[in-house]
Structure 1
């Protein structure tokens, strides 16, 4: 790759990869959808912003050193995946027991905030896999390597916000179609089961 990051060799492929991976179903997106259903889009935005920044920071940290450590210590990577999966199972349990009260009801449990969104990406096995695969596929060793990693993180940050946010919008829209608390509980339960399923597929 040349010193200048070109549209066809870097920006376009990375943007497409970022969109495909950040908009597809995954633990963080399922949480955003459920939060949108129970609390609305505006109250879910901190989680969306935290998750987007969290992934960008994870990509930078992996790209600038931690990735090579994990490559040399596969057992450490397995431990991180297990710990992350346990955390995601906890999130699934929270979704399963989420209140079906209206989003305007201030008595319900608070939505996941900025730091919850940021931390979730660091404990999200899918995020680690996507980041490591992206670094491997779209960067090349050399004096331009750091620029590539930072540029990739910037692309993901820009694309993750609307991609994850779209799931919050979807959840809020679904809430308008659900007329009863029982329907909302079923939606929350479905999201919880999908979250658990997404964890299982990571280990297949």
Structure 2
């Protein structure tokens, strides 16, 4: 059992810590507001991903046929939401202005939506459920275990990006550098979404 849980942890951490829309948002917020103020986004993204894992597990109990249609809708809903977040990142004020209350870090709900509307999160979660849950005799128990492990690893993985963003604050000591940084991350997030949609249209 321990070896299975360790395998789950490795799988979930790699899925959580690799670059993606949620982590780009965490990095930008960490650099602008600091890791503590970014923690609602980190927690929201973690709760959102855990819910994705649980819903993906519903496929084990006979609902899997609906997943392709749901993913098709998510590509467009998620693409629109993530493009909106890319715009917000690109237009973030430098931290001196942010401290004056003119803008705010991403909220818990936005972090959750970034995961729930992210097709990549669904594909990773579904792969994990297929790998670690579907072949087990006690599927409900293992789904709960995998969900708990995914919660811990996602919390850690997204937090790494938020803390990394905060560590960059010393390099972004003036407003001009901060603007370039925010616009670069906004462009990266928008590019990620466009590539995701283009890949979906090709298939």
**Normalising by the residue count of structure 1, what TM-score does the alignment of the two structures yield?**
0.88
Are 1:96 and 2:90 an aligned pair? yes
Are 1:152 and 2:146 an aligned pair? yes
Structure-2 change in CA distance of 1:64 and 1:73 (3 Å): closer
The correspondence of residues 133-172 of structure 1 with structure 2, limited to 5 A, is: 133-141=127-135, 143-172=137-166
SS at match of 1:25: coil
The correspondence of residues 51-90 of structure 1 with structure 2, limited to 5 A, is: 51-65=45-59, 69=63, 71-72=65-66, 74-90=68-84
Structure-2 change in CA distance of 1:201 and 1:21 (3 Å): farther
Structure-2 change in CA distance of 1:67 and 1:111 (3 Å): farther
Once residues 61 and 77 of structure 2 are traced to their aligned partners in structure 1, the CA distance between those partners, rounded to angstroms, is: 18
SS at match of 1:112: coil
Q: What runs of 5+ residues in structure 2 fail to find an aligned partner?
A: none
Aligned twin of 2:2: 7
Aligned twin of 1:44: 38
SS at match of 1:102: helix
Once residues 104 and 75 of structure 1 are traced to their aligned partners in structure 2, the CA distance between those partners, rounded to angstroms, is: 40
Size of the aligned set, in residue pairs, is 198
Aligned with residue 114 of structure 2, among 117, 120, 145? 120
Aligned twin of 1:26: 20
Once residues 196 and 64 of structure 2 are traced to their aligned partners in structure 1, the CA distance between those partners, rounded to angstroms, is: 17
Structure-2 change in CA distance of 1:56 and 1:62 (3 Å): same
Q: What runs of 5+ residues in structure 1 fail to find an aligned partner?
A: 1-5
SS at match of 2:95: coil
Structure that is richer in helix per residue: 2
Once residues 161 and 199 of structure 1 are traced to their aligned partners in structure 2, the CA distance between those partners, rounded to angstroms, is: 23
Structure-2 change in CA distance of 1:31 and 1:141 (3 Å): same
**Normalising by the residue count of structure 2, what TM-score does the alignment of the two structures yield?**
0.88
Shift of 1:24: 0.7
